[in-house]
Amino acid sequence: MVVNLGTPDPSRPGALEVRKLGPLARMAPDPIKVVLNWGRRYSLWCFNFGLACCAIEFIAASMAKHDFIRLGVIPFAPGPRQADLMIVSGTVTDKMAPAVKRLYEQMPEPKYVISFGACSNSGGPYWDSYSVTKGVDQIIPVDVYVPGCPPRPEALLQGILKLQEKIARESLPAQYAAPAPAAVLSRPLVQAPAEGGDAS
């Protein structure tokens, strides 16, 4: 069995021009990449970060009527170290944002995030509150946004399908390269108390 790892190189007769896959060029031919992406696509361990009413819709999506296990999503991972999909559902406050970021950083690579609902997408009806983070994408990178207030369970199923399509298109070198840094906050999460102020 011959595995073609490149195209004929016109400058060197008989030689192949190696595809630009880095060190994985010799180890990951196309069929292997398809199998690896297929395995990651249909075995997403989900870590639910339910913060408000959208979490009820997430739970409904995992029940018998909608049953997202049939899509290859395993709900309720024991912790962030066993999960590769975080679904943030609900209002992310500035006080909760460091916890969301910490749990995201504990997840192993490759990891994905679905922002579920208007509150986690952009702050929702509470966008002008002093204590609400204006979208979870200010603290962690988001792969799929699911709109709605609250979104229906069918919308979450559609978001999972979109994420699976994205995973199927990924290349191995891009996936296992250095992770993208989380976005820099536009304002501090928690205001520091004033120094030396009186208590009155």
Question: pLDDT tens-digit profile of 144-197?
Answer: 999 888 888 888 888 888 988 888 887 766 666 666 565 565 556 666 667 765
Residue 71 DSSP class: G
Looking at the DSSP assignment, which residues form a beta bridge with residue 113? Answer: 86
At residue 171, the 3 state secondary structure works out as coil
- 41 lies in some domain: no
Residues in the annotated binding site for [4Fe-4S] cluster? 53-54, 119, 149
pLDDT band at 9 (very low <50, low <70, confident <90, very high): low
How many independent structural domains does the chain possess? 1
152 part of a folded domain = yes
Residue 71 forms part of a structural domain: yes
Q: Does residue 186 sit within a domain?
A: no
Task: Judge contact between 146 and 156, C-beta under 8 A.
Answer: yes
Cα–Cα distances in Å, from 52 out to 42, 58, 88, 92, 120? Answer: 27, 11, 10, 9, 10
DSSP letter at 96?
Answer: T
In this prediction the pTM is: 0.69
**Structural domain includes residue 40:** no
Domain assignment present for residue 38? The answer is no
**Residue at 178 is within a domain:** no
pLDDT digits 0-9 by tens, 72-113:
777 777 788 888 888 888 888 889 889 989 999 888 888 889
CATH code, 106: 3.40.50.12280
CA distance 100 to 145: 17
Residue 88: which domain range? 46-125+134-169
Annotated binding site: 53-54, 119, 149
